[in-house]
Chains A and B, each alone.
Chain A
Amino acid sequence: MREHKKILTANLDDPESHTLKSYEAHGGYKAFQKALKEMTPEEIIEEMKKSGLRGRGGAGFPTGLKWSFMDKKSPKPKYLVNNSDESEPGTFKDRLLMERNTHQMLEGMIIAAYALDVHLAFVYIRGEYTSCIENTERAVEEAKEKGYLGKNILGTGFDLEIIVYKGAGAYICGDETGMLSSLEGKRGYPKVKPPFPAIQGLFGCPTVVNNTETLATVPWILQNGSDTYAKIGPEKSPGTRLFCVSGHVKKPGVYELEMGSPLMELINDHCGGMQNGSRLKGIIPGGPSVPILTAEECDKAILDFDSMKEIGSHLGSGGVIVFGEEACMVRSLLVLTEFFADESCGQCTPCREGTGWAVKLLHPFVEGKGELPDLDLLMDVADRMKFRTVCTLADAAASPIESFIIKYRKEFEDHIANGGCASHSQTQN
């Protein structure tokens, strides 16, 4: 197996990896000391820009650039929010970081806060992740005791408080503006942009929202240099990434690979290939918000932002969902569409109504009562949901509908012809 550099999971073999003691024994909490004592905020932002790091929350936005948009001249307080809501189906990497590498994430937050002139930062963790919440709270306490958080950190005059904020179950709070609404004590409705959070975010103040994995990468970059980081993987998508593999593979789990690796290297070399000798039918490479790839497309797929775009999908959340031949694509699409319908916040008509109608239209196919024209109607519904809503959940919901019907159309037609699912095995594993 090809060796991959480990930036986020290097020390996870240590059963105590989540403790401050273990993290420091492995060289942790050096980068933030260097940052606070030897670097100016501008220098840090410049380093982040040069590293080429792109956000790991889904959109792949360049992190240094995002930080540079923060309205520095604003007289208002500024905030940093660590997005640990992780609710995209098939995604469970931030959980690993919070459970096993908690301090690397906190160190990244301290550096980001210093660079952004932030003195109060939040970790917004989905309410279901009890162990992550407990771990993060404990880690914050440990860091406080050590003087890494609180007033006058390391005698530099820099103050920072981190609050762990527990969500209560709503996918839409993972959208950065939905998250800000939720933090403001409101329903978690996404907000119209612009203004972007960097100008007008939490409580109307300049705010940066970053994904957990993004922030956990920051200490390594400062410690090893932006040029070292930029050299890993492809030029425009450098670094490593956590891929969460689920579905019909032998060894599902979270794997850290260098960007630019072939998708099938992840599946065959790391996950041991398909389970029970099943044949690959398709892979969703980045959570259901991105289009599925057929088995043929998977053979060509490269895991970086731009290569994925070229073959018509996206790296998304890092949630790699693997479908073997035993999967019913009609049922699978219903499962995903029900999810988006359940999680639509209901503010925008195309999203609220579109996801609901798509579910209604899909049910008859599963039950073997679907009709051919309804396939086109489904495509039409999906098309009308896109590019006209407050947040991108509606576009996300359209992407499995369109890609499943286009790429697995024959399965939908067979369901009509056979009065239901003929291929779907109900074998127990």
Chain B
Amino acid sequence: MSFELSEKAKKEIERELGRYPVKDSALLPVFWIVHNERGCVDDEAVEYIAGLFDFSAAKVLGVLSFYWMLRRKSAGKYVISLCKNISCYLREYENILTHLQDLLKVQVGETTKDGVFTLQLAECLGSCGTAPMMMVNNRYYEDLTRERVTELVEGWRKEAMTNGK
């Protein structure tokens, strides 16, 4: 499989590479551009990015692995990150977690067989006043109840069936 990015992504990368006093600063923004397009920064992408910066792949991987949001392998179409930190714990996120596990039939860290959902736990996402909460891809869903979660998951399931994965 050859590594190819869209023209739009290439343009964005070009802009980032020339934007900072020191080119290295563009590394994180370039990760994001690739991640947005491919859903992950896989080994091929690492090689490609290393080439852009004249870094070793090891150096690129070292930075990449520092950040939890950047994944190295693609995941489900909907990545559910349920907050497990203190304010969500006090507002019983665990009820939501068991409910999600029942609905999706996966454990934390797993992706559903159809590739639609990945379930993971996250540290505090800054929605403590509206706990419990989850981030799905890059959107926040707050003040969660079991009913709301059921509705949301069913909606995404339908969406995935009509639009394909």
Interface of A toward B, CB cutoff 8 Å: 77, 86-92, 95, 120, 126-131, 163, 165-171, 182-188, 203, 244-248, 252-254, 284, 288, 319, 321-324, 327, 331-332, 335-336, 339, 342-343, 345, 426, 428-429
Contacts and interface: CB of A to CB of B under 8 A. Distances in A.
Nearest to A170: B67
B131 interface: yes
B66 to A, nearest CB: 4
Interface residues of B, number: 44
Interface string B114-144: 0000000011111111110001001110000
Contacts of B92: 426, 428-429
B30 to A, nearest CB: 9
B107 interface: no
Interface string B15-34: 00001111111111101100
Contacts of A171: 123
Given A165-B29, A166-B28, A332-B89, A95 B69 contact: no
Interface of B: 19-29, 31-32, 53, 62-63, 66-70, 84-87, 89-92, 95, 122-131, 135, 138-140
Tell me whether chain B's interface is mostly helix, strand or loop, or mixed.
mixed
A332 B84 CA distance: 11
B69 A128 contact: yes
Given A91-B124, A185-B24, A321-B86, 19 more contacts: A92-B129, A128-B69, A128-B126, A163-B19, A163-B20, A165-B28, A166-B28, A169-B68, A184-B24, A184-B25, A185-B25, A203-B21, A245-B129, A248-B90, A252-B131, A332-B86, A335-B86, A428-B95, A429-B92
17 contacts: A90-B86, A163-B20, A165-B28, A166-B28, A166-B29, A168-B68, A169-B69, A185-B23, A185-B26, A185-B27, A185-B53, A252-B128, A252-B130, A323-B90, A335-B84, A339-B85, A428-B95
Given A92-B129, A184-B25, A185-B27, A87 B86 contact: no
Contact of A187 (B21, B63, B69, B126): B63
A182 to B, nearest CB: 7
CB-based closest 10 A-B pairs: A185-B24, A168-B67, A246-B128, A169-B69, A246-B87, A185-B27, A89-B124, A252-B129, A169-B68, A187-B66
